[in-house]
Structure 1
Amino acid sequence: MRKVNIYITLFVIAFLLLPFTGCENALEEKTFTTLSPNDFLTNEEDVEVLLNSVYGVLRYSDITRDAITLNEVNTDIHIERNGGIFAANELMEEFIWTSSHSYLQAWWELRYKTIYNANVVLDNVPDVDMDEDRKEEVLAEARFLRAFSYYLLYDLFGPVPLIVSSETAVTDRPARASKEEMISFIENELIFASEILPVEPPRNEYGRPTKGAALGILAKFYMMTKKWNNAADTSLEVMGLGKYDLFTSGNRTALFSPENQRDNEFIFVANMSDTPNDNTGSGWLSHVVPSGYQWQYPPRAIFAAEFKLRTEFLNLFEADDERLDAILFEYVNANGDTIELGEDDARSLKFPEYPNQDISRDSGDFPFLRYADILLSRSEALNELNGLNQESVDLLNMIRDAAGVSIFNVADFSGKDAFRDFILDERGREFHTEALRRQDLIRHGKFIETAIGRGKSAEDFRVLFPIPQTEIERNTSLIQNEGYSQ
């Protein structure tokens, strides 16, 4: 068996036990100090523990906060005020971020940590004596998670170094891949994973990637790179799996409630722990609610930081849109006073309180991909390919009908451009607080335009973030993105 080249330490093992549930046998936690290859990775059980380490970084407690900062505070949806994180968010809001921004550094490091852990699996699991069918799935899961991490990096930074071996040292990192190399790698890895992964989660453990997840992220990547034919066709493949549907069993906002957390609309999520006080749940709500807010499941912390929704964005909603029920417009404080939240002060409670929580975190999953996104992606792609058409409008209507608002006929739109603009607005209404807005605005060519409309001095080069300065200093082969200092 090929040896694991870097000793697996307690730092890695701390992430190992992803809260997968749904299997009969819970993952058994082992206690380790420092492990050598002779002590570890000798059987299938060890492989599963190692694979779970790849998932660990996806569920860190501040993923929602960080993703919103990087992908919505610089758009027409969110602003953030107060608290220790205001300085970092102000740079995003004002379009004056630099390569030293701490959130960019953290995002880069977390994605490459996942990539490294996936590479350890891919380098060493082929030599383990275990069930061959499960081994094939393990390798496909690792390749999906590595490709997904590169997808997230490409979205923010453009082409980055492609590291495909755990042997690559920090001092020996490669230069950035070309755009063509990067696109080809992500596409091919997701295609490979989609051919191996089953429709149902491997081992029946919720949170693991499936065929639908691989195809769905591939469809999203085709949208990002404007390969409209591929995006339309791959979205249709996901629809044809017969696995997913829209949540229509109540108010649209109930999709994110504890009882519907595993609804078939969710295709791939960061699966947070249901165990109180394990320090891995989401900390989003403590960054959102105003001082004096009365929790449903106290005690719970209210941080000084406050993420708020722009009134201009909320004006995109029709008055009877069920999705507005996820917005806090007023609340009753401890004194019984009703406090109305005014201009640019409403809050997104899209991810509601969960009964399983500690003082600042709960177990609500963060959605990376929902079936609604697949439907709207195909709708948009078909409009780009064929102009205004019946199927695109029908797909849009499925989302709107689920939200309890008016539906449309083809004749209600003046043409391709008008429908494109409406799709962008609909995506905002449907996916706010899910960190998709920046990507959507860039794809529609409106990220910089809308920022300028808000009075920001937004230069065109800011459609990409800068490579973090620490990485430039660590890897002299890296060339900074255009517009940013080296």
Structure 2
Amino acid sequence: MKTYKNIKLLVVFFVLLTLTQCSKPLEQETYGVLAATDGPASKELMQGLLEGVFVQFQYNGEQGRNQIYFAEFSSDHIYNEIGGLFRQSSPIINWDWDASHPWFEDNFWGKPYRAIANANLYLEFVETSKLSDEEKELGIAEARFARAVSYASLYNLFGAVPLRTSSDDEVYKERSTAEEVTNFIESELEAIAEDLPVKAALFGKPTRGAAYGLLMKHYLNTKKWQKVIDNANLIKALGKYSLYTAGTNPYRDLFKVQNELIENETIFSFPASVLDLNNGNAIMSHSYPDSDYEILVTGEEDTRWSPGRISGTKNRAYDFLVDLFEDEDDRKKQFIKTFIDYNGNVRVNAPNKNGIFKYWPDPNANQWASGHDFRIVRYADVLLSEAEALNELNGPTQASIDLINEVRIRAKATPLVLGDFSSQDALRNEILNERGREFYFEGKRREDLIRHGKYVTAKRSHPLKPKSGAEDFRVLVPIPQAEIDANPNMVQNTGY
């Protein structure tokens, strides 16, 4: 089983409670009380404070699910219907969300800012603490990593936000400029990358590859093409990561929980666990083709769940997403059109109601919760990001085609041929399509469409659920209304 820590921080004179997840039940340990007169903080207390950063930084459970759902449901390939979740997802699907939506306030705004506040506090105490110099260097790098990536997440959703780098910052801060925020993200990750280990001691902690990977994704979305290539090459130079190619269907097997510790494709992820329902992954429970599902017609393993584990809400893939794939493409096999129900009947889904077995059913699921980690960066993204950057700089080249084909060949799709792309725009469109095939339901579709200038037009011209009046301002989400009410210096995003 994965070994990592999931911490809850209670800031009452900085009392630190640590919850450790491993192969035995959760254990709780109190590390101590930090007061201004205590002098240098103990190692145990600093460890608890750093872990308090990561419980807020890590998106798992409902928070991780909602990040993926917003990116996918507001885009063009996947949607949700019926059940309790639909009350929250319908404004996203219909493009009429506003500043009161519950996902924005706590998941998208509050959680990263709590991680930032905890990181600032850790950084203010660490230098005078009783940690060794080596422990300080690693702890500082980890805290700055979490803080920078939290700002990258905020910037991706809200645009420029207030930069808070000290617990002494004024309470009612104005929004920083976009340049200030992006410069901070870039300078922080570049500064600490070499101080992070190539392999983390605990699953879910940051590594050098994670710093390069998050930088690469940030540069991709801000269209700094040469820096995308530079960081992709830094990741490759580590010699640690590669596409998962084991078995007859490696793409399917990559997303099996039991393979998460043996594959070398994932560069950074937020860990999920079935030991605590608050940290479990509910996406698979929401993605079965129907609630009376029994098993696939092929009889493949690891697919039978009891009725109580299958949610009433349904995540669906549109037919035109499924049709993007060649029939022999392994990635297409994760869409479920036909299945056997509990009465032994063969059922065929109605059009555009494809079940999605991207996160292959976890045989050790706890009720509705699976142990599928929330993958943030994997090696396939390195290859396709580098291919996109090369095309943006040089137009179609064999180098770009070769990178794309590494991903396609793993999936048994027909390799691309350079001669089929007569222009930069033609290959650009193919790269967007290939990203849609490779990364469906991983929370990347929104940022990909925005980067390609197609997020709003995809909604306006959607084949089944178009909204002709979809507004350009929705490339950003609104600052939560509670934040607007609390901070007189906060300016709302245009249009909200």
Pairwise same-fold verdict (TM > 0.5):
yes
Name whichever of 233-242 and 439-448 sits farther off.
233-242
Query: Is residue 2:230 matched to residue 1:233?
Result: yes
For 2:339, what is the secondary structure of its paired residue? Answer: strand
**What is aligned with 1:408?**
416
Deviations 1:322-368 (A, max 9, x none): 01222222222211112211212112221122233321212111101
Pairing partner for 1:374 from 371, 376, 382:
382
Identify unmatched segments of 5+ residues in structure 1.
none
Say whether the 8 Å CA contact 1:73–1:79 is kept in structure 2.
yes
Is the Cα–Cα contact under 8 Å of residues 160 and 175 in structure 2 kept in the other structure? yes
Q: Is the 8 A contact 1:20 1:206 kept in 2?
A: no
What are the within-5 Å matches in structure 2 for residues 378-457 of structure 1? 378-454=386-462, 455-456=466-467, 457=469
Q: Give me the TM-score of the superposition, normalised by structure 1.
A: 0.91
Taking a change above 3 Å as real, the CA distance of residues 34 and 348 of structure 1, as seen in their structure-2 partners, is farther
- 1:85 shift after superposition: 2.3
Q: Say whether the 8 Å CA contact 1:5–1:167 is kept in structure 2.
A: no
Cα distance, 1:452 vs structure 2: 0.6
User: Which position in structure 2 is the counterpart of 1:463?
Assistant: 475
Q: Which has the larger displacement, 64-73 or 93-102?
A: 64-73
Aligned to 2:163: 162
Separation in 2 of the partners of 1:320 and 1:129?
Answer: 59
Q: Secondary structure at the match of 2:278?
A: coil
Aligned partners of 1:72 and 1:436 also within 8 Å:
yes
- Structure 2 residue runs of 5 or longer lacking an equivalent are 1-8, 295-302
Q: After the TM superposition, which residues 62-461 of structure 1 pair with which residues of structure 2 at under 5 Å, given as runs? A: 62-106=62-106, 107-168=108-169, 172-201=171-200, 204-250=201-247, 251=249, 252-262=251-261, 263-273=263-273, 275=275, 277=276, 279-289=278-288, 290-294=290-294, 296-298=304-306, 300-454=308-462, 455-456=466-467, 457-461=469-473
Aligned CA distance change for structure 1 residues 18 and 373 (closer, same or farther; 3 Å)? farther
Q: Please give the alpha-carbon distance, in whole angstroms, between the structure 2 residues aligned to 1:274 and 1:468.
A: 31
- Please name the residue that 2:53 is paired with: 54
Q: Which moved more, 1:454-463 or 1:154-163?
A: 454-463
What is the CA-CA distance between 1:271 and the residue it aligns to? Answer: 1.0
Alignment check: 8 A CA contact 1:265 1:372 kept: yes
Deviations 1:39-90 (A, max 9, x none): 8983323322222222223143113430233101111111111112213212
Residue identity opposite 1:185 in structure 2: F
Structure 2 counterpart SS, 1:369: strand
**Match for 2:19: what amino acid?**
L
Cα distance in structure 2, aligned partners of 1:287 and 1:8? 41
SS in 1 for 2:361: coil
CA deviations 1:308-332 (Å, max 9, x no partner) are: 1111111111111101222222222
- 1:340 maps to a residue whose letter is V
What secondary structure sits across from 1:384 in the alignment?
A: helix
| C-alpha contact (below 8 Å) 1:232/1:378 kept by paired residues | yes
Deviates further, 287-296 or 222-231 = 287-296
User: What amino acid maps onto 1:478 in structure 2?
Assistant: M
Structure 2 letter corresponding to 1:235:
A
SS at match of 1:476: coil
Aligned in 2, Cα 1:479/1:168: closer, same or farther, shift over 3 Å? same
Query: In the alignment, does 2:486 pair up with 1:474?
Result: yes
Greater CA drift, 418-427 or 355-364? 355-364
Residue 17 of structure 1 is aligned with which of 19, 24, 45? 19
| 8 Å contact kept, 2:41–2:125 | no
| CA distance 1:32–1:192, change in 2 (3 Å) | closer
Report the CA distance shift for 1:18/1:402 in structure 2 as closer, same or farther (over 3 A): farther
> Structure 1 pair 165/28, CA: closer, same or farther in 2 (3 Å)?
farther
What is the SS of the residue equivalent to 2:204? coil
Distance 1:442 1:380 in 2: 14
2:112–2:151 contact (8 Å) kept in structure 1: yes
Cα offset for 1:31?
4.0
After superposition, the Cα gap between the structure-2 partners of 1:42 and 1:357, relative to the gap in structure 1 and judged at 3 Å, is farther
CA distance in 2 between partners of 1:77 and 1:38 (Å): 56
Q: Take 1:287 and 1:166, find their aligned partners in 2: how far apart are those partners?
A: 40
TM-score when normalising by structure 2? 0.89
Distance 2:324 2:357 in 1: 18
CA contact (8 A) 2:40 2:130 kept: no
Match of 1:7 in 2: 12
Residues 166 and 17 from structure 1, CA distance in 2 versus in 1: closer, same or farther, beyond 3 angstroms? Answer: farther
Q: How many residues align?
A: 470
Alpha-carbon spacing, 1:292–1:256, altered in 2? closer, same or farther (3 Å): same
SS of the residue corresponding to residue 315 of structure 2 reads strand
Q: Root-mean-square deviation (CA), in Å?
A: 2.5
Deviation at 1:8, TM superposition (A): 5.3
